[in-house]
Chains A and B, each alone.
Chain A
Amino acid sequence: MAGPADSALAPARRERSRGAGAAVARLTGGGRGPLAATTALVAALALALVVGYGLHDVAQRAVNGLVSGSYFALGAVGLTLVYGTLRLVNFAHGDLLTFGAYMAFMANVTWGLPLAVAALFALVATAALGVLSERVMWRPMRGRGAGLLQLLLMTLGLAFVIRYGIQMIWGTLPRRLDVDVTASIGFLGLRIGRTELIVVIVGFVVLIAIGVMLRRSSLGRQMRALSDDMSLAEATGIDTDRVVVATWVFAAGLAGLAGVLYTAAIGTMTPNLGFFLLLSLFAAVILGGIGNAYGALAGGLLLGLAQEWSTLLFDPRWKVAVGFAILIAVLIVRPQGLFGRRERTL
């Protein structure tokens, strides 16, 4: 009865671990190969575009792509962490971004706190929401052996509850954070908004910190072990509950921060913001290889770049579709993404 079948509706099975060393190698996608190939591809693309459209336009759009890539990456890393550890595709993740943005709004505009404090508050609040969902929803369901479909549907339900709950409280009119979205800085003939630059810097610092944490700290090692094989991790004495909670703290916290940064960069927030970003986040995650945090980072940046460069080729209206197209193309051609391993996806 409890066969190893991977029918859609059975709880996902864990692969056998093949040792810690292999786990590390897995994290970097089995070597430098994909990284080098990707970099080469991007460089070639950039060159081709420069020839066609001139350095300035390509570079400016690359800057724009970097900005959107920052919050894509932040959101994607959280999404992939949860998937990696829990094998849960969290359709409510986008709404965690929205939640973060509105928490920041509450702190920054309603309570008058400075933006940095508000961002921190948003991060903590969203992390708390993530942990709450883990305690109240995911852990009990795991205990009951809930299947994939059940969990997916619950994430959908949660997405609705968060999004429309926010709408109930704050309405549908756009809101703004107390931040100057008009100041911009020029460098090398290019322009970037001052707030946008801060977004990029903060995003990168946080991402690097997360990366270091995953690599070096014991918590990070435990998270990776869990991601590799949960039952084996348990068997080796890792307190899986604690690690899972930690995963949620990071994932949700990152999502909340991403929401704040997105709003600061673009200017306004509405209850829909997370949902519209969600598919782009999926694209980034899958592009980078699901379960791979560094992959998600790269995927996010690449997606931002691709979207902005596409405006050179197509009408800007189609920009968002680029993300979807990438998503589908990757899944069809190379489902493990750029940096993932084959077994993870089939």
Chain B
Amino acid sequence: MTPVLAVSFDALTSAGFWIGVGVLAGTYAIFTLGLQLNVGFTGIINFGQAGFMAIGAYAMGILVVRAGWSLWAALPAATAIATAAGVLLGLPSLRLRADYFAIVTIAFAEIVRYVAQNARGLTGGNQGLLGFDDEWLDLSDRILGWLPASVQDQFLLPLLIVVWIAVALLTGLLMLLQRSPWGRVLRAIREDEDAARALGKNVLAYKLQSIALAAALGAIAGYFLALNLSFLSPESFEPQFTFIGFTILILGGLASYVGVALGSVIIWTLLEATRFVDLPLAAEKVAALRFVIVGVALIVLVAFRPQGIVGKREEMVLRD
């Protein structure tokens, strides 16, 4: 058996590969928009975003598969559920110190994943949940029909289009919100919480809103994840995805919503492109190497370029 590199060239230049990367990048861009809102603009450290993603995705899946709802009805309902979860989580814990809050959010995300693994009747457990996307597939086929014939075999293309429309809309929405009085209060809270409180702002309420909105964004990212795989399983919501989100966040730049999309594309291109090496002995090592690179990237970025690519130095909220 001669160890050779696989036909990576073909796959790397294939449209299918880039569309796949694009869908993932878009999904995690939405995921990280939530993180940006929390961390970059409100100053709360949310390590539990994967948990909101899971709640949204599973709520949607369960409503469709177990309760027989239509997908289109399940989406807003699941978003509401995730938002409520955000509020429920935030109410007792937002008053804690930032580092404690971070721990609580990780614990929350792990509990959600654990429940997903063990509540088999509801979530399918480790076997996963399938069959929730028939209505989406119909829509997807219709969209595909509107596209030129040359791309008709790229069945993920409609999802790619929808995801990036969502990214654009949500980014625009967040940027608008940021310029609004509400956004200004958030920024004030990030800069100096006590001062904001002294000015009479109900800091807890604003933080709750921030986390609720982030939860909704996480849930939306969860739907795209679910539709991408047509399959929901607990391992899609492991904490490493939150950490990848943070890497994207820092890479793109704190306090820049646009940077999020950019960061996401770069990170996912790197992560997916490294699947191609096909050395039988080194395959395990390559899989591990991908994450070592993510770790190193995170450390280096945070240490040397915390403003990321498009963040501005003045916005570098990581310093005092």
| CB–CB B193/A5 < 8 A | yes
B292 within 8 A of A: yes
B106 to chain A, nearest CB (A): 7
CB within 8 Å for A5 and B302 given contacts A160-B292, A160-B295: no
Chain B residues numbered 271-318 whose CB sits less than 8 Å from any CB in chain A:
284-285, 287-292, 294-299, 302-303, 306, 317-318
Contacting residues, chain A, for B296 (C-beta < 8 A) = 157, 161
| CB–CB A168/B111 < 8 A | no
Chain A residues numbered 140-178 whose CB sits less than 8 Å from any CB in chain B:
140-141, 144-150, 152-154, 156-161, 163-165, 167-168, 171-172
Point out residues on B near A: beta carbons under 8 Å: 39, 43-45, 92-93, 95-104, 106-108, 110-111, 114-115, 118, 189-195, 240, 243, 246-247, 250, 284-285, 287-292, 294-299, 302-303, 306, 317-320
| CB–CB A5/B194 < 8 A | yes
Contacting residues, chain B, for A42 (C-beta < 8 A) = none
The CA-CA distance from A158 to B284 in the complex, in Å, is: 20
B239 to chain A, nearest CB (A): 8
Q: For residue B193, which residue of chain A has the nearest CB? A: A7
Contacting residues, chain A, for B194 (C-beta < 8 A) = 3-6
A37 to chain B, nearest CB (A): 22
| CB–CB A160/B291 < 8 A | yes
Contacting residues, chain A, for B192 (C-beta < 8 A) = 3, 5, 7
Contacting residues, chain A, for B243 (C-beta < 8 A) = 156, 160
| CB–CB B114/A157 < 8 A | no
The CA-CA distance from A290 to B97 in the complex, in Å, is: 12
| CB–CB A7/B96 < 8 A | no
Contacting residues, chain A, for B291 (C-beta < 8 A) = 160, 163-164
Identify the interface centre among B95, B97, B101, B110: most chain A CB within 10 Å of its CB.
Answer: B97
CB within 8 Å for A279 and B99 given contacts A4-B194, A8-B43: no
Q: Of the 9-residue stretches A179-187, A211-219, A248-256, A323-331, which lies at the interface with chain B?
A: A323-331
CB within 8 Å for A6 and B302 given contacts A146-B318, A165-B288, A321-B114: no
| CB–CB A149/B318 < 8 A | yes
CB within 8 Å for A141 and B303 given contacts A9-B43, A331-B104: yes
A18 within 8 A of B: no
A317 within 8 A of B: yes
| CB–CB A7/B190 < 8 A | yes
| CB–CB A161/B299 < 8 A | yes
| CB–CB A332/B102 < 8 A | no
A346 within 8 A of B: yes
| CB–CB B107/A149 < 8 A | no
The CA-CA distance from A331 to B106 in the complex, in Å, is: 13
| CB–CB B295/A161 < 8 A | yes
The CA-CA distance from A331 to B193 in the complex, in Å, is: 21
CB within 8 Å for A9 and B318 given contacts A164-B291, A164-B295, A167-B284: yes
A53 within 8 A of B: no
Q: For residue A271, which residue of chain B has the nearest CB? A: B288
A2 to chain B, nearest CB (A): 6
The CA-CA distance from A6 to B303 in the complex, in Å, is: 22
| CB–CB B320/A145 < 8 A | yes
A6 to chain B, nearest CB (A): 7
Contacting residues, chain B, for A325 (C-beta < 8 A) = 111
Indicate which residue in B44, B108, B303 contacts A8 across the interface (CB closer than 8 Å): B44
| CB–CB B284/A328 < 8 A | no
| CB–CB A159/B103 < 8 A | no
| CB–CB A279/B106 < 8 A | yes
Q: For residue B191, which residue of chain A has the nearest CB? A: A7
B234 to chain A, nearest CB (A): 13
21 contacts between A and B (CB under 8 A): A5-B192, A5-B193, A5-B194, A5-B195, A9-B317, A12-B99, A89-B99, A146-B319, A147-B320, A152-B99, A152-B102, A156-B298, A161-B295, A167-B287, A168-B292, A271-B288, A286-B103, A318-B118, A327-B103, A331-B104, A346-B97
A319 to chain B, nearest CB (A): 10
A46 within 8 A of B: no
CB within 8 Å for A137 and B107 given contacts A5-B194, A145-B320, A164-B292: no
Contacting residues, chain B, for A339 (C-beta < 8 A) = none
A86 to chain B, nearest CB (A): 12
| CB–CB B298/A160 < 8 A | yes
A320 within 8 A of B: yes
| CB–CB A282/B288 < 8 A | no
| CB–CB B43/A153 < 8 A | no
Q: For residue A331, which residue of chain B has the nearest CB? A: B104
Chain A residues numbered 298-343 whose CB sits less than 8 Å from any CB in chain B:
317-318, 320-321, 324-325, 327-328, 331-332, 335
| CB–CB B97/A158 < 8 A | no
A30 within 8 A of B: no
A345 within 8 A of B: yes
Indicate which residue in A10, A150, A282 contacts B306 across the interface (CB closer than 8 Å): A150
Write out, one digit per residue, whether chain A residues 36-59 have a CB within 8 A of any chain B CB (1) or not (0): 000000000000000000000000
CB within 8 Å for A89 and B306 given contacts A150-B318, A164-B292, A282-B107: no
B284 to chain A, nearest CB (A): 5
A11 within 8 A of B: yes
| CB–CB B299/A10 < 8 A | no
Q: For residue B38, which residue of chain A has the nearest CB? A: A8
Contacting residues, chain A, for B292 (C-beta < 8 A) = 160-161, 164-165, 168
Given A147-B318, A158-B295, 8 more pairs with CB closer than 8 A = A146-B319, A152-B102, A154-B299, A156-B243, A167-B287, A279-B110, A282-B103, A327-B103
